[in-house]
Chains A and B, each alone.
Chain A
Amino acid sequence: MTRPSPSRTSPPTLREIEAQLQAAILTGDDTVLAALADGAHASRDTLLGVYRQAYTARLIEVLMSDYPLLRSYVGDVVFRELAHSFIAAHPSRSQNVRWFGTPFPEFLKEQGSAAKHPALAEIAAIERSVSDAFDCIDAPVLGFDDLAAYPPEEWARLTFSLHPSVTFMPAATNAFHIWKALNEQETPPRGVCLPIPEHVVVWRYGATPKVRLMMEEEAMIGREARRGASFGTLCEMLAIYADPDSAPARAAGYLQAWLTNEMLTSAKVVARNRRAHLARRAAPSSSSA
């Protein structure tokens, strides 16, 4: 069967018009101009330009409101350049503009000029996590009283659910200190790579997102707690990581901080027969801790 050749007189379909107008906006393709009539007071080129300019302007504005501190750190000119290249590389695929800028921090990691300053991607990642913590799903907050209900002999087998807003972020640069200075409207330090990475945690306290640094060991047991490690296991990990004698006190201190910070949602006691780590420790191949 031969396909009928498209008749020059038949008007474009809605599907064709939408594809052409989208291409005009995204790539500057002018095909759609043939389907347009001039305006009452302006040419069709000028009027098509309204959509083209509005597209980029709107998305730059979205990025500016998502990343206000990065913007003030690099300045308007640089921010706009970065935003332009991001918009060109990442057309929005989200129905909600709220998530348009989500890949921006990752983009900055790879993007030529920004990649030379790795603090930029990390500042953006902190800002992103703050936005995400802001409207993250709601969850109950575990209180001291809830924990007091468990008898002391069960504490070793307690496991915790972390609040869904809690995000652990290792930082290879001083991004946290830059972010903090900008957030407090102080002069930020120059971006530098750190000899030892820092551990940033972002979470929501009440209705407000919070950001702080954690000691490496606190971040370590925080991640393990999220994976379901029991309080007993967390204590053991701290004992291996540093001074074993003070491990229980350190563990209690971190737990108290998490409770005060509203980072925990619930606790439960795991059944004895599910303490796989003990079985592993008892196995002959395991090293003696």
Chain B
Amino acid sequence: MTAAKVSKPKASLPSARPPYLGFGLGLRPQHYTDIIEGSPDVDWFEVISENYMVPGGQPLRMLDKIRARYPIVMHGVSLSIASTAPFNAQYLSDLKALAERIEPRFVSDHLCWTGVHGVNLHDLLPIPYTREALDHVVARIDHVQEYLQRPIAIENVSTYIQFAHSEMPEWEFISELTRRTGCWLVFDVNNGFVSAFNHGWDAQAFIEGIPADRVVQFHLAGHEHNMSHIIDTHDALVPDEVWDLYRAAVERFGPVSTIIERDDDIPPLADLVAELATARSIAEDMLPELRKRRAS
């Protein structure tokens, strides 16, 4: 390995850590009315970028209303940062236009690829953790950050397969990414749990293996346990073992903006707000300064 350098984006990019936002939810269209008409106890919302990369109409109108009252983070699923196919120029330009329009606190996507040869499989697909792949992804993150004129945040995905020729654990790959590009990290606690179970890793080692000062967001979600493997379904309550791992993550990373990410079987907003209150109280019990910060 080369000598460690201080992680920072290219000199031309802002390097300030995105602000701590508290406890939020993934914004889902089912909840637009309840959010706009009520005042749910939610500190911020994360939006799926692609849902708003449309020409106009209701989605953008709702987003404008919600962002007038809540901080917003943009979370994409199609950047395909690890793909060996060239970037889709239209996608990047639409992403940049959306970021300019809604001024998110930060922009994130996943450490994955979604397709090659012009095809999009609309999935978050895994890569081998090799030095070759690392160089490739570093160059791609550099390109995107340069293009968007801002550092991005990269999230660990749930993986089901692993490659025999991987040369390092996922956490080392992720650490190198952030060290070499200055990108931030979204730690999806559920994804970390799912991947660790499927591959027989130690989830605690994952948490200890990524640099604490680069993690700017947590995702919490539920999954489907099939005994021989866990599938990341995002359609259920956060299970106990994910809450346990969340405690370990709070312990190591400190105050980190957190959301509950529910993509399927979406319950009423109030149910998610209640689940979010659990996350909040776990973190506030461990970090009393958060409770004081909220009271002030």
Q: Contact residues of A with B, CB < 8 Å?
A: 11-15, 17-19, 21-22, 25-26, 35-37, 39-42, 44, 46-48, 50-51, 54-55, 58-59, 62, 91-98, 100, 133-138, 204, 207
- Complex partner residue of A18 from B83, B122, B123, B199, CB under 8 angstroms: B83
Question: Are B163's CB and A17's CB within 8 A?
Answer: yes
Given contacts A136-B55, A137-B56, contact A51 B123 (CB under 8 A): yes
Q: Does B116 contact A (CB under 8 A)?
A: yes
Question: Are A92's CB and B130's CB within 8 A?
Answer: no
Residues of B85-131 at the interface with A, using a CB-CB cut-off of 8 Å, are 85, 88, 90-91, 113, 115-123, 125, 127-128, 130
Kindly state the separation between the CA atoms of A25 and B117 in the bound complex, as whole angstroms: 14
Question: Are A14's CB and B229's CB within 8 A?
Answer: no
Kindly state the separation between the CA atoms of A44 and B163 in the bound complex, as whole angstroms: 10
26 A–B pairs (Cβ distance < 8 Å), ordered by A:
A11-B165, A14-B130, A14-B136, A15-B84, A18-B83, A25-B123, A36-B161, A39-B160, A42-B198, A47-B161, A47-B198, A50-B161, A50-B229, A51-B125, A55-B123, A58-B122, A91-B121, A92-B115, A95-B90, A96-B50, A96-B53, A98-B54, A135-B54, A135-B60, A137-B57, A207-B58
- Chain B residues touching A, range: 35 or more
Q: Contact residues of B with A, CB < 8 Å?
A: 50-51, 53-61, 78, 82-85, 88, 90-91, 113, 115-123, 125, 127-128, 130, 132-133, 136, 160-165, 197-200, 227-229, 231
Question: Are B58's CB and A135's CB within 8 A?
Answer: yes
Question: Are B113's CB and A18's CB within 8 A?
Answer: yes
- The residues of A that contact B229 with a CB separation of less than 8 Å are 39, 41-42, 46-47, 50
Beta-carbon nearest neighbor of A16 in chain B:
B84
Kindly state the separation between the CA atoms of A44 and B116 in the bound complex, as whole angstroms: 22
Query: Most chain-B Cβ atoms within 10 A of its Cβ — which of A93, A95, A97, A207?
Result: A95
- B64 CB to closest chain A CB (Å) equals 11
Question: Are A21's CB and B50's CB within 8 A?
Answer: no
Beta-carbon nearest neighbor of A19 in chain B:
B116
Kindly state the separation between the CA atoms of A95 and B113 in the bound complex, as whole angstroms: 12
Question: Are A95's CB and B130's CB within 8 A?
Answer: no
Kindly state the separation between the CA atoms of A133 and B55 in the bound complex, as whole angstroms: 10
Given contacts A44-B161, A134-B57, contact A35 B197 (CB under 8 A): no
